Amino acid sequence: MSGCGHSPHSMKPEETLFEKGELLINGYFTGEAYLKPLLAKDKNNEFSIGSVHFEAGARTHWHTHPKGQVLLLTQGEGLYQEKGKAARVIQKGDVINIPEDVEHWHGATATQSMTHIAITNVQNDRSVEWLQPVSKEDYTAAQQ
C-alpha cells in the first residue's frame, strides 16, 4: 500500500494488524501457529503481550494461566473452549477474558485462520501451564 492514508475498507481480509511472527515449534500447538511478541513483562507490567496467528486447523493444547489471560481477536474466526463447556465461535472484535486456572484451548476453525492478541498475566515468573493436546474428536466436535 502507498504511504498515503487508506481506509480499513481498502485492506485485504487476510491482512493482520501485526506481522505474522515466527512459527511456534514448542510442541504445545497442533498445526501451524505463529507468534509475534509485542511486549515482555517488565518492572511496570506484570504481563506479556503477543500477537498469535493460527492457520486453519491450528490450535493450542489444553492449558491454564495462573493469573488469567485476555484474548483480543483481530482477524478471522476461531474457537474457544473451557473444560466441561461447549466450544464457542470467536470472531474479529471479540474480547475473551479467561479466568485464572481455568483449563481451556483456543485456535482457528478447520476452514479459516484466526489471529488474536494475547495479554498473559505472570505470577511468580509463571504465565502458563501446558496440558494435553486437544483430541481430533474434541476439535471436530467443536466445529459443530
Could you report the per-residue pLDDT of 3-17, keeping only the tens digit for each? 444 434 434 455 668
Residue 101 zone, left/alpha/beta (φ > 0; ψ -120 to 50; rest): left
- Statement: residue 61 has pLDDT above 70: yes
Which residue do the cell numbers 505470577 mark? 123
pLDDT, position 57: 97
- Report the candidate in 59, 65, 48 with the shortest Cα–Cα distance to residue 114: 59
Return d(Cα 65, Cα 70) in angstroms, integer. 10
- Show the cell assigned to 29: 500447538
**Which CATH class name applies to 17-142?**
mainly beta
Q: What is the pTM of this model?
A: 0.87
DSSP structure string for 7-60: -GGGS-TT--SS---EEP-SSSEES-EEEEEEE---SS-SEEEEEEEE-TT-EE
Task: Specify the pLDDT at position 16.
Answer: 67
pLDDT at residue 70 in the model: 98
Mean pLDDT of 67-92: 97
SS3 content of the chain, % helix, strand, coil (to 5): 5, 45, 50
The residues, ordered by sequence, that sit 6+ positions from 128 with a Cβ below 8 Å of its Cβ are: 63, 64, 65, 120
